[in-house]
Structure 1
Amino acid sequence: MDWDEFADWGGKIARRGAAYHKTLRDRPVRAAVKPGEIIAQLPASPPETGCAMAEILEDFERIVMPGLTHWQHPRFFAYFPANAAPPSMLAEMMVTTLAPQCMLWQTSPAATEMETRMLDWLRQAIGLPEGFAGVIQDSASSATLAAVLVMRERALTWQGNVRGLAGGPVPRIYCSTEVHTSIDRAIWVAGIGQENLVKVPTVPGDPMRRMDTEALRARIAEDRANGLLPAGLIGVTGATGMGACDDIAALAEIAAAEGLYLHVDAAWAGAAMICPEFRTLWAGVEQADSVVFNPHKWLGAQFDCSAHFIRDPDALRQTLAIRPEYLKTHAHRDVTDYSEWSVPLGRRFRALKLWFLIRAYGLDGLREMIRNHVAWSRALCNRLREQPGIEITSEPVLSLFTFRPKGASNEAVQALVEAINSDGRIYLTQTNLEGRITIRFQAGAFGMEAADAEMAFHTILDLLSKTGGTQS
């Protein structure tokens, strides 16, 4: 392919992309294929000769498109969103075309310096005080892993990377039972081990399912008495299941008293903190050692883009930096190399999409979107509450709430979820609250409108009546 052909096909693909987004409401949200259906259409061996781009795109429409769940669909109410606003897509096209590798300042100075500025824009937008520095990680999972590694090294007086964990004290990390499983994975990868991740129960009857701080204090004291090594504490704001929010101020007080490193996982909910009225959910966050949220979830930055804020970047660099001669920048020593702030050496130019996105919409435009999602979700919750066959199992946290048919067995609730998703009009997921399967609804799709919440209401009632969802 020469560059004239590239330009021609690039224009055609961009037009296809625009047409796709304009017709998303006409498509079922979730893919309606069976396991193995896609791979059966792909040859078992690679081709020896090339073919025309037109043929490749025809096969793309025939094979790939039917097997996609449409994450940009305005009625995608499952999981959390992975949004891609149009300006962010254009930025990613630019990055893909330029294809820089941004591991060091000298390998792409613009990428490094834009990342510094964009993370400071986000810091200001969500209300974190000066003194926090930021870095873009690929996901909140990677940011949490980096935080756990710092906890480990700090507790082991920076000797864990040198000596390993064998034969020495093993750090203990504390969190609530509501945290995302990325915390467990971080513990595994860091070599700390599942047995040293202490999951503290939540306060009984607390609608926000906050970590029980008295139980936390007791566990830390017990561990110290048994010769164990408390190292870190992970709080959550807007957990995946039902939006649980820990009392961050109380956790910060305990962390300070016990000498623990405090990391706050706000992967989804952190985006909402651009709206000052929602910041009560993480009051005390300014006392944390590190904080993560994903602009690729609710702000519209195309996946992947995770904002990781750190009070002491030196601790992160001391944990992760390694400087062979070929990575040193001799001519300009006083520069930031963000590869020293993350596990991977290679880095994409992720900051460009933040620049495009924030400039295109402004913080006011992004705030309006989030406020609309919260309002539409709460209104839907109240409408469902009024239905005699439905119970609200957790109240809205921002734009997330849960519900289930009254009197239904877990099997009946799961059957209702499958029926709703197979119907295609909307997409929901389930969670487990204290042994009961319950249905999650969260509003967050960038293109969502009030009419989409209306469609959700009628779809839920329609499928509930068809499946007999209240039967046990």
Structure 2
Amino acid sequence: MKWTEFADWGRRVSQWAQDYHLTIGSRPVRAQTEPGDILNALPAAPPEEAQPLEDVFRDFENIVMPGMTHWQHPRFFAYFNSNAAPASVLAEFLTSAVAAQCMLWQTSPAATEMETRMMDWLRQSLGLPGGFAGVIQDSASSATLAAVLTMREKALDWQGNRAGLFGARALRIYASVEVHTSVDRAIWIAGIGQDNLVRVPTDGPVRGMDPAALDAAITADKEAGLHPAGVVLAVGGTGTGGTDPIAACIAVARKHGLYVHVDAAWAGSAMICPEFRTFWEGIEGADSIVFNPHKWLGVQFDCAAHFLANPDDLVRTLAIQPVYLETQGKDGIVNYSEWSVPLGRRFRALKIWFVLRAYGLEGLRDRIRNHVKWSHNLHDRLAETPDFEIVTAPVLSLFTFRYVPEGTADPDALNLALVNAINDDGRIYLTQTRVGDRMVIRFQAGQFETTADDVAMAYDVICEVARALIQ
């Protein structure tokens, strides 16, 4: 393919994308293929000669698309949505066309300076204090890894990167069972070890960490000669929306001089609505915070906003400055590659700029408020429907439920069969989790184009499929 052909194909792909999004509701939400279908449809060897793009595009439609689960479907109610607002798609198109590697200020000043400004726009949108600075990471997992590495270095007086962990006292990180598994992976990668991730008990209606139990765990570890290093807190955990009491837990961490990272990957977007900020009251005391605009704000994956009370700690942990990366003759610049694990960086700030300008904060707030309202409506209907029980009450737009008709011998097996049958039906997409020893079904609303009718359909499908299982 030549650049002289690009515009014609660009128009065709653009029209295909518009048609896809306008008709996506007519497709099954989850891919209906069987394992191996796509693999077996692809040639086993690469082509030796160039092939017409017409053939490539036809195969894209005939081979690839049947194997896609449609994350932009308005009835995708399973995992937290990875959204793609139209304005964000356009920005990603431009980012791909320019194709810059934005690792340093000098390799694209516009990318660096827009990232600085967009992170401050997001800070203001969430109501965070002016002392926080930010960087765009690829995902919340990377931000959490960076936070855990910073905890490690601070606890080891900045000697871990140089000397390693051999011979050092065991470092301890504290989190509840509600945090994302990215915390476990960060512990592994940082060399701290799974056995040193201390799971603090939870209590209360939103399954938050017990501050007294946190204090007791840290104290016991100190008395045992172990080395507490940091605390990871959750706001809107993935399974059931578990949310730690941020202010109380930060107070305990401060008492013991520990670094605090707050993972609000999904729920953080809702903090653009002032009425939801009670979920993270006390957040101004955190050392670092992450949320994903690529979830609820409509910004395309990948895009994680990582805020830091003191970015110098992160830079001291991650920065490496060989001569070939130095920018000569310029003062007052930031190289965000020193704030993240990868050296290479995409121009992610552009899509934030497009989305915030194209929809405005009020437009984005309206979407989030509607998703919360519609999810609560569905919760209330299921709560009043015979044979259904609510297991965890709504946290923003997420709640869990079970189908337990009288006489059910194995409720776990029935509910797993139900979620599978719903997803095979194709009209909506849900997923399962466990609460204690019970298998439950998760529902959350968050797709950018979801309507009240889409959520209402979820009720009809759930009830219809559930009744069919026991006939």
TM-score, normalised by the number of residues in structure 2: 0.98
What CA deviation, in whole Å up to 9, does each residue of 1:230-254 have, x standing for no partner?
A: 0100110000111011000011101
Task: Give the distance between the partners of 2:2 and 2:82, measured in 1 at CA.
Answer: 33
Quote how far apart the aligned CAs of 1:112 are. 0.1
Runs of 4+ more than 4 Å apart: none
In 2, the alpha carbon distance for the partners of 1:295 and 1:366 equals: 11
User: Distance in 2 between the 1:217 and 1:2 partners?
Assistant: 64
The residue number in structure 2 matching 1:156 is 156
Tell me the residue number matched to 1:108: 108
| 2:421 maps to 1:414 | no
**Aligned match for 1:248, one of 233, 238, 246:** 246
Alignment partner, residue 380 of structure 1: 378
User: What is aligned with 1:69?
Assistant: 69
Aligned match of 1:40: 40
Inter-partner Cα distance in structure 1 for 2:39 and 2:386? 45
Residue matched to 2:135: 135
Deviation at 1:212, TM superposition (A): 1.4
Q: CA offsets, 1:288-321, max 9 Å, x none?
A: 0000000000000000000000000000000000
Name the SS for the 1:71 alignment partner: coil
Q: Can you give the 5+ residue segments of structure 1 that lack an aligned partner in the other structure?
A: none
Q: Deviations over 1:204-251 (max 9, x none)?
A: xx2110111111111111100111000100110000111011000011
Query: Which residue identity lines up with residue 465 of structure 1 in the other structure?
Result: R
1:284 to 255, 269, 282: 282
- Residues 164-223 of structure 1, C-alpha deviation per residue, up to 9 Å, x if partnerless? 0001123110000111100000000001000111011112xx211011111111111110
**1:435 corresponds to which residue?**
437
User: How far has the Cα of 1:394 moved from its partner?
Assistant: 0.7
AA aligned to 2:384 is: E
Q: Distance in 1 between matches of 2:206 and 2:458?
A: 25
- The equivalent residue for 1:451 is 453
1:314 and 2:316 correspond: no
| 1:293 aligned residue | 291
In the other structure, the counterpart of 1:303 is 301
In 1, distance between residues paired with 2:260 and 2:225? 21
Provide the C-alpha distance between the structure 2 equivalents of 1:446 and 1:334, rounded to a whole number of angstroms: 38
Which residue identity does 1:73 align to in structure 2?
H
**Hey, what's the Cα distance between the residues in 1 that align with 2:104 and 2:349?**
14
Which residue number corresponds to residue 13 of structure 1? Answer: 13
| Deviations, residues 41-73 of structure 1 (Å, cap 9, x unaligned) | 111111100111100000011100000000000
Amino acid in the other structure paired with 1:102: C
* SS class of match (1:174): strand
AA aligned opposite 2:179: V
**Could you tell me how far 1:452 is from its partner in structure 2?**
0.1
For 1:75, give the aligned amino acid: R
1:349 to 344, 347, 350: 347
1:180 corresponding residue in structure 2: 180
Deviations for 1:409-458, whole angstroms, at most 9, x for unmatched residues? 10110000000000000000001001100000000000101110111010
What is the distance in 2 between the residues matched to 1:212 and 1:398? Answer: 21
Shift of 1:406: 2.1
**Aligned-pair CA distance for 1:468:** 1.9
Residue type of the alignment partner of 2:284: E
**What is the aligned partner in structure 1 of residue 117 from structure 2?**
117
Deviation at 1:2, TM superposition (A): 2.1
Partner of 1:393: 391
- Separation (CA, whole Å) in 1 of partners of 2:168 and 2:331: 36
Q: Secondary structure at the match of 1:28?
A: coil
Aligned counterparts of 1:418 and 1:468: Cα–Cα separation in 2: 14
1:339 shift after superposition = 0.0
**Counterpart of 2:28?**
28
Give the drift of 1:32: 0.4
- Structure 2 residues without counterparts, runs of 5 or longer: none
Q: Deviations over 1:123-161 (max 9, x none)?
A: 000111010000000000000000000000000000000
CA distance in 1, matches of 2:133, 2:253: 20
**More moved, 194-203 vs 109-118:** 194-203
Whole-angstrom CA distance in 1 between matches of 2:356 and 2:397? 22
Deviation at 1:331, TM superposition (A): 1.4
Q: Say if 2:214 and 2:249, in contact at 8 Å, map to a contact too.
A: no
State the alpha-carbon separation in 2 of the partners of residues 235 and 376 from structure 1.
Answer: 28
Task: Give me the CA root mean square deviation.
Answer: 0.8
Q: Which residue of 2 aligns with 1:424?
A: 426
**Separation (CA, whole Å) in 1 of partners of 2:297 and 2:443:** 18
Aligned length: 467
In 2, Cα distance between equivalents of 1:286 and 1:402: 30
CA distance in structure 2 between the aligned counterparts of 1:97 and 1:169, rounded to whole angstroms: 50
- 2 CA distance for matches of 1:198 and 1:468? 42
Give the equivalent residue in structure 2 for 1:194.
Answer: 194
* Residue 169 (structure 1) aligns with: 169
Report what 2:94 is aligned to.
94
Question: Percent identity among equivalent residues?
Answer: 62
SS in 2 for 1:38: helix
Conservation of the 8 A alpha-carbon contact between 2:102 and 2:347: yes
